[in-house]
Amino acid sequence: MTAHAHRHELYTVDQVRALDRRAIEQLGIPGYELMQRAAAAALVCLRQHWPQARRTAVYCGPGNNGGDGFLLAALAREAGLHAEVFAPAESRGDDATRARREFEHGGGIVNAWNDAVVLPAVDVHVDALYGTGLQRALAADVAALVRRIHATGAPVLALDVPSGVNADTGDVPGEAVQADVTVTFIASKRGLYTGVAPGYVGAVQLESLGLPETLWQNAHGDAELMQPWTLPPRPRQSHKGNNGHVLAIGGDHGTAGAIRLCGEAALRGGAGLVSVATRAEHLIALNSARPELMAHDVNGPQALEALLPRATVLAVGPGLGQGAWGHALWLTALDAHLPMVLDADGLNLLAQEPRQLSVPAVMTPHPGEAARLLGCDTATIGADRFAAVRELARRYQAVVVLKGAGSLVADPEGRVAVCPWGNPGMATGGMGDLLTGIVAALLAQGCDAWQAATLGVSLHARAGDLAARHGGERGLIATDLLEPLRLLLNGRES
């Protein structure tokens, strides 16, 4: 595996095809040779991950992904492995057909696939059914094959893309192969990192197939994979006034927890001061639980206005509600023209009463909120999260975080970053409130909206992973993230 500078870039399927064409036309490397290199890289990957494997079954689809599979099976046989091939359809295209013939000429047998076929006992299955060419849900017979593969319990190596996953969007419109490892060729496909796709890809390994660095020159991807980083150490002379003052607004009747979590995360995210504007009934509990928070009884817009002059950043939405109280505070907050993070009911109110945000703003919708903001359903968001997050950022002229596995961050110019961290233990109440507080704290410490959103998302997800590493995913709760968050923020953990 070569270390290329483009490794953090994520490409659309069209961009990957353009890179393939460039390799073929400009570098003069025939497509069939690329296929041979892909197969060789895949065999190395198989042996790295499963050094004891002796028996393998390779499932080859009709296109070039299937071609990769035939050549891998041929190489595996030459290397002394037992490799059986199953092909549900005829090969299409010159390279795939040639690859199939090469496998057969070497003595390999291509088994047809139908429901009566009994899959052999193998150490590893290799999925070469579909790659970047998949346009729609897997056909019923292929979906049945995929279920049978899973039922054997043996691990799966997917070539380029787990079949059934849309490499462009991360959507899985039907059945898909659940891979343990996906070895992906030439460039990272953006769809492998977001939405439901992370649940199918397993560990992703990128193989550049020995192509020279010049191939990627001026061929930038569509998105970038977030890299771990944090803020530099504080100057020794800093005082609390240098680190901003977050004012968290929310916590209607019955939702004290949301605003407390937001405020506490802003403190752990390094804000100099954190005030909370909330209902009077929450003050005693907030003060006793977290005395560092300055909790204020805010019964309406005037009380909020009195707090605004001291605030440098607003966090608007956790537990805000959509009633008269929440709506009045929301309007006052938006009119304050302070940098802000908008979340939860702050976003739901915006969906009902659209307006442009005139200040540096970060919006943090989950797919349900994103759907309300765009006036569509959540399935439409899931079908193309990249398009959804870009449209939100453009429409509201804000930096937008689209939450969910593989969170995306977009700015109004269309830049997108993808978060590779996080785990299903984080799908519990309060996690979003923490993110709001962290992003607000980073804005307060001088980050611009893009930095605050991308760093906030990455710290939040990595804190979740660290917390899950110690105690497991089930039963993980939002406050478990606060201590690891602090360690990560200070560069004490990686």
Ligand X SMILES: NC(=O)C1=CN([C@@H]2O[C@H](COP(=O)(O)OP(=O)(O)OC[C@H]3O[C@@H](n4cnc5c(N)ncnc54)[C@H](O)[C@@H]3O)[C@@H](O)[C@H]2O)[C@@H](O)CC1
Q: How far apart are CA 405 and CA 13, in angstroms?
A: 21
163 binds K ion (CB under 5 A): yes
What, of K ion, ligand X, none, does residue 127 touch, CB below 5 to 8 Å by kind? K ion
Q: Assess 10 for contact with ligand X (CB under 6 A).
A: no
- Rounded to 5, what percent of the chain is helix, strand, coil? 45, 15, 40
Residue 38 or residue 444: which is nearer to K ion going by CB?
38
For K ion, give the closer residue by CB, 172 or 315.
Answer: 172
The annotation status of 257 as a binding-site residue, yes or no, is no
Q: How far is the CB of 100 from ligand X (least distance, A)?
A: 12
The tokens for 46 are 């198989």
Report the alpha-carbon angle 465-181-6, nearest 5: 80
Range 55-114, binding K ion (CB under 5 A)? 65
**Least distance to ligand X, CB of residue 46, Å:** 15
Q: Which is nearer to ligand X, 166 or 278 (CB)?
A: 166
Q: How far is the CB of 48 from K ion (least distance, A)?
A: 18
Q: How many CB atoms lie within 10 A of CB 366?
A: 19
Nearer CB in complex with ligand X: 102/345: 102
Q: Which is nearer to ligand X, 180 or 465 (CB)?
A: 180
By CB under 5 A, residue 159 contacts K ion: yes
Question: How far are the Cα atoms of 82, 151, 182, 283 from residue 52, in angstroms, in the given order?
Answer: 12, 21, 19, 62
Instruction: Judge whether 258 is annotated as a binding position.
Output: yes
Q: Which amino acid is at 430?
A: G
The amino acid that residue 2 corresponds to is T
Burial 390-422 (b: 16+ CB within 10 A, else e): bbbbeebebbbbbbbbbbbbbbbeebbbbbbbb
Residue list 145-174, contact with ligand X (CB under 6 A): 159-161
137 versus 331: smaller Cβ distance to K ion: 137
Looking at 113, 130, 193, 421, which residue binds ligand X (CB under 6 A)?
130
Q: Is 409 helix (H, G, I), strand (E, B) or coil?
A: strand
**CA–CA dist 435, 460 (Å, integer):** 6
SS3 11: strand
| Contact status: 32 vs ligand X (CB under 6 A) | no
Residues 6+ apart with CB under 8 A from 416: 222, 223, 224, 386, 389, 390, 408, 409, 410
Query: Interface with K ion includes 127 (CB under 5 A)?
Result: yes
Which of positions 34-93 make contact with ligand X (CB under 6 A)? Answer: 34-35, 38, 61-68, 92-93
Smaller CB distance to ligand X: residue 212 or 446?
Answer: 212
Q: Is 343 in the site for K ion (CB under 5 A)?
A: no
Q: Which amino acid is at 309?
A: P
Radius of gyration of the chain (CA): 26
Task: Tell me how far, at minimum, the Cβ of 135 lies from ligand X, in Å.
Answer: 4
Give which of K ion, ligand X, none residue 169 binds (C-beta under 5 to 8 Å, depending on kind). none
250 is in an annotated binding site: no
Annotated binding-site positions for AMP:
403-407, 432
Q: Which residues of this chain interact with ligand X, rule CB under 6 A? A: 20, 31, 34-35, 38, 61-68, 92-93, 130-139, 159-161, 185
